[in-house]
Structure 1
Amino acid sequence: MLKKIYLGFIVLIMLAFSGIAAADEISAKQVVEEFQNDLIAVMKQGKELGFKGRYDKLDVAVKKSHDLPKIARIIVGKHWEELSQEQQAKLEKAISQLSISAYAHNFKDFSGESFSFISEEETGRGGVVVHTNLHIPGEKDVKFDYMMKKKDEGWQIINIIADGVSDLALKRSEYTSVLSKDGFDALIAKITEKIDNYATQ
């Protein structure tokens, strides 16, 4: 009898904890909305912060919402396995800095912009695409589609498609070409040059 009571108690505890976990789990949509809120907040302080300030503010937001290691691997494709562990780590760091720099450069001031959620759909491989619009006063809306994958720590962005143009596809086309023709050091130099340009424009 005591054994049955004990087992029942354990089951109740497990159900309670699983309920807490489910409640705490952030959806793909929520990840995107939280990131977009961070972008708008930085834009509102954009001129005051300057590039360095915007970069510092977005560093945590981008690393939290984007799967930067996976993005780095996808960008170089089959060449990833040809890189040493040191080179892989160096590339991941460079892609991380490039991504944050691009946001700090492109979202640098505020003139009433806002994001809105359109819809969410599952992909064939267990992913989710979150469809949103960026509203710019006096201009045509820009459609942002966020391709999401779930990891142990939750949903993360692996690609952004702006008005039908895939950021990941553009980077992969450009950077695999540099890596194939000119080698790893040339690729890092190319990425570093882009980061520097973002910081000074």
Structure 2
Amino acid sequence: MSNSNLVCPLCQCSTPRHYHTDERRQFWQCETCSLVFVEPSQRPLPEQEKALYDCHQNDVFDIRYRQFLSRLATPLLARVKPNSSGLDFGCGPGPALAAILTERGHHISVYDPFFAPCTIVLQDHYDFITCTEAIEHFHQPEKEWNTWMTLLKPQGYLGLMTGLVQSPSQFARWHYKLDPTHVSFFSRETFEFLAHRDGLTLEFFGSDAILLQRK
């Protein structure tokens, strides 16, 4: 099992180590940032991704979905100033978080490569950026992360929701890795690496909500 041609899609480290193999895919872990990622040749094609995303039922007015998103929305709303500008990145077909934040008086733009692909919104700057249950889908998360760092204003917030890798044994039995569109798996150590590298403060809320602030 060779890693001679592999580089980490987040930090570009060239010495990943084998992490896990199941019946469908191989997973590698970066020695520098701890990102776990799928063997590049086993990532889904865009049309395969879109077909699966079209099956998602993310209703903007679904009470249970809003409660789920409140795990990030609540701490974020407690910190941002009134009438702030925000970008919901990877909003999907039902941008419920954008609706929640708009209802609270903030000015929200949305972007999604499949469902809201207008790139004009990526030319502005924002007081906060959110990305809920999308970062695990990124094939080259370095690209999106660098975009966020460009768009985020000084003292701006980056709010994320994603399942977190805890250990090899947890990963082996983790349902989260079974979704074929999940290809990048973050851990607390990965976010600690990014926060330290890029000068961000970092807070975790529960098992899957992460809030970073540009200093």
What TM-score does the superposition give when structure 2 sets the normalisation length? Answer: 0.22
The structure that is helix-richer by fraction is: 1
**Bigger relative contact order (CA 8 A; separation at least 6):** 1
